Copies of this chain bind each other. A is one copy, B any other.
Amino acid sequence: MSKNPATAFEQLQTILGKVSDLSSASALLSWDQQTGMPPRGAAARGQVLATLSETIHGMITAPEVAKLLAEAGAKPRLSRDEKAWLREATWANERACKLPASLVRELSLAEAQAFEDWQRAKAAQKFALFSPSLKKLVALARQKAECFGYAETPWDALAQDFERGTSAARVTKLFSPLRDATVDLLAKIRNAKPVDSSCLTGKWPLDAQREFGMRVARDIGYDFNAGRLDVSSHPFSTTITAGDHRITTRYAESNLLDALGSIIHECGHALYEQGFNIKDARGPLYEAPSLGVHESQSRFWEVRIGQSLPFWRHYHPIIRQYFPGRFDDVTAEQLYAAVNQVEPDFIRVEADEITYNLHIIIRFELEVAILSGELSVDDIPAAWNEKYARYLGITVPNDAKGCLQDVHWAYGAFGYFPSYTLGNIYSAMLVEKLEADVKGLWKGIERGDFGAALSWLRENIHTHGRRMPAEELVKQATGRAPTVEPLIKYLRKKYGSIYGVR
**Which residues from chain B contact A22 at a C-beta distance below 8 Å?**
48, 51-52, 55
Which of B18, B40, B243, B281 contacts A55 (CB under 8 A)?
A: B18
Cβ proximity bits A222-253 to B, threshold 8 Å, 1 near / 0 not: 01111110000000000011111010000000
A298 CB to nearest chain B CB (Å): 20
Near B by CB (< 8 A), chain A positions 60-93 give none
Contact across chains for B41 and A226 when beta carbons are under 8 A apart = yes
CA distance A224 to B241 in the complex (A): 29
Contact across chains for A40 and B243 when beta carbons are under 8 A apart = yes
**Which residues from chain B contact A52 at a C-beta distance below 8 Å?**
21-22, 25
**Which residues from chain B contact A51 at a C-beta distance below 8 Å?**
17-18, 21-22
Near B by CB (< 8 A), chain A positions 35-50 give 36-45, 47-48, 50
Contact across chains for A29 and B38 when beta carbons are under 8 A apart = no
Q: Is A32 an interface residue (CB 8 A)?
A: yes
**Which residues from chain B contact A224 at a C-beta distance below 8 Å?**
38
Contact across chains for B21 and A244 when beta carbons are under 8 A apart = no
A47-B21 in contact given A38-B243, A226-B41 (Cβ < 8 Å) = yes
Contact across chains for A244 and B47 when beta carbons are under 8 A apart = no
Classify chain A's interface size. Answer: 35 or more
Q: Is A28 an interface residue (CB 8 A)?
A: yes
A244-B44 in contact given A18-B55, A36-B228, A38-B225 (Cβ < 8 Å) = yes
Near B by CB (< 8 A), chain A positions 192-250 give 223-228, 240-244, 246
Q: Is A24 an interface residue (CB 8 A)?
A: yes
Contact across chains for B41 and A240 when beta carbons are under 8 A apart = yes
Which of B25, B41, B242 contacts A244 (CB under 8 A)?
A: B41
**Which residues from chain B contact A240 at a C-beta distance below 8 Å?**
37, 41, 44-45
Q: Is A282 an interface residue (CB 8 A)?
A: yes
Contact across chains for A40 and B226 when beta carbons are under 8 A apart = yes
**Which residues from chain B contact A246 at a C-beta distance below 8 Å?**
38
Q: Which 6 A-B pairs have the closest CB atoms?
A: A41-B244, A44-B241, A40-B243, A21-B51, A40-B226, A25-B25
Extra pairs beyond A38-B246, A40-B244, A44-B281 (13, CB < 8 Å): A18-B55, A21-B47, A22-B52, A24-B48, A25-B48, A28-B28, A37-B244, A38-B227, A38-B228, A40-B223, A40-B243, A41-B242, A44-B243
A-B contact pairs, 8 of them (CB 8 A): A21-B50, A25-B52, A28-B32, A38-B226, A39-B226, A42-B243, A43-B243, A45-B241
Interface, chain A (partner B; CB < 8 A): 17-18, 21-22, 24-26, 28-29, 32, 36-45, 47-48, 50-52, 54-55, 223-228, 240-244, 246, 281-282
